[in-house]
Structure 1
Amino acid sequence: MAETSVFEVPGAMVLLRGDHEAIGEAAAHVAGLPMPETRQITGGAERALAWMSPDEILILAAEGAGPGMARALGEKLTGVHHLALDVSDMRVRLRVTGPYVREVLAKLSPADLAPGALPEGEFRRSRLGQVPAAFWVSGPDSFDVICFRSVAGYLRELLEHSAAAGPVGHF
């Protein structure tokens, strides 16, 4: 399926852990975005703020911004129990584009990827094959996927293979 492509999106990722009520305002301030609701992502292609779990937020920003953002979070959260860490070298963001992108991911994930089940703005943590990943709709025919750098090559090949096999069903 030549219409589907998979490529790495360069950028920084900053992980922030702690009680959402205690850390949410700082995350929103440093990211310059509204705090997302449960299983949501706010922002756009250049900068985003994602709900990862009840005690974890992920900030996506421009390449090289990670260390400064982690430092700014640490300063803003002085005295508040938290972890602010630049994970840019640990994780990779892939973009999968094409007219059958939902089907490509659906062949690999147990999550329901139908438009009504995973609308734009919703952030999902699941698996693609046996790889832990997070993903969201990043455009009309695109998904962004985050995974550990150690499995990024394998996941990219898995996504490309899923696309090459052609669509199975259609949403």
Structure 2
Amino acid sequence: MSEMLATPVTALGGARFDGLISVREKPAQGMISLRGDLSAAPIRNAATGIAGVDMPPRRAAHTEGQRGLLWMAPDELLVLCPYGEVPGAAASMSKVLQGVHALVTDVSDARAMFELRGGGLRDVLAKLTPADMSITGLPPGELRRSRLAQVPAAFWLESETSAQVICFRSVARYVFDLLKNAAQPGSAVGFH
């Protein structure tokens, strides 16, 4: 019988680009999709108990290191935890939510995550998304589900110089190349 890999493999093997901003594929991140009535105490407790952060308001991201809660839709949260903890965390959430109308799904291996750093974050993302990237359109801590060129993605600014992007693993190369192209030296637009 073959043994499981000790280290999870990311979509792009930790790809990195440095230009107007740095773009880095993050190491494997545990991600659990939790669907249900987000105002229900059992769902809120299950999510915050695993993530260790407060429940986010509508369209917000509350993160601390590898843990966090991302508001994805009126009935969906993305619970972040260390990759190795996902099986136990998902089982624990399912047990706590037994009898509650909810769905707990491990989506860790179906997603890729990128970290963006640098002062030109808003301009780089604005080249790719129809979302309003102004400070009032997307203040730090607010999550946006939109598109990057032709593919769906979720992103949020942790600060004016740090952002996170999540996309489907199947389009990770495309998204990385988009971000890399938008961050080419000499391509600054200076709008934001």
TM-score by length of 1: 0.94
1:140: how far off? 3.4
Determine what percentage of the aligned residue pairs are the same residue. Answer: 48
List runs of 5+ in structure 2 lacking aligned partners: 1-17
8 A Cα contact 2:50 2:81, kept in partner: no
Partner SS, residue 65 of structure 1: helix
RMSD: 1.4
**Higher Rg of the two aligned structures:** 2
Aligned to 2:118: 98
List runs of 5+ in structure 1 lacking aligned partners: none
1:49: how far off? 0.4
Aligned to 2:15: none
The number of equivalent residue pairs is: 171
After superposition, residues 142-153 of structure 1 pair within 5 angstroms as 142-153=162-173
Aligned to 1:25: 45
8 A Cα contact 1:46 1:62, kept in partner: yes
Is 1:77 the counterpart of 2:91? The answer is no
Distance 2:84 2:74 in 1: 27
Distance 1:7 1:43 in 2: 18
Distance 2:144 2:172 in 1: 18
Aligned to 1:60: 80
Partner SS, residue 20 of structure 1: coil
8 A Cα contact 2:23 2:114, kept in partner: yes
8 A Cα contact 1:45 1:138, kept in partner: no
TM-score by length of 2: 0.84
1:2: how far off? 2.1
Aligned counterpart for 1:14 among listed residues 8, 11, 32: 32
Partner SS, residue 57 of structure 1: strand
Structure 1 consecutive aligned stretches of length 4 or more whose deviation exceeds 6 Å: none
Amino acid at match of 1:160: K
Distance 2:160 2:125 in 1: 15
Partner SS, residue 130 of structure 2: coil
Amino acid at match of 2:22: S
1:67: how far off? 1.3
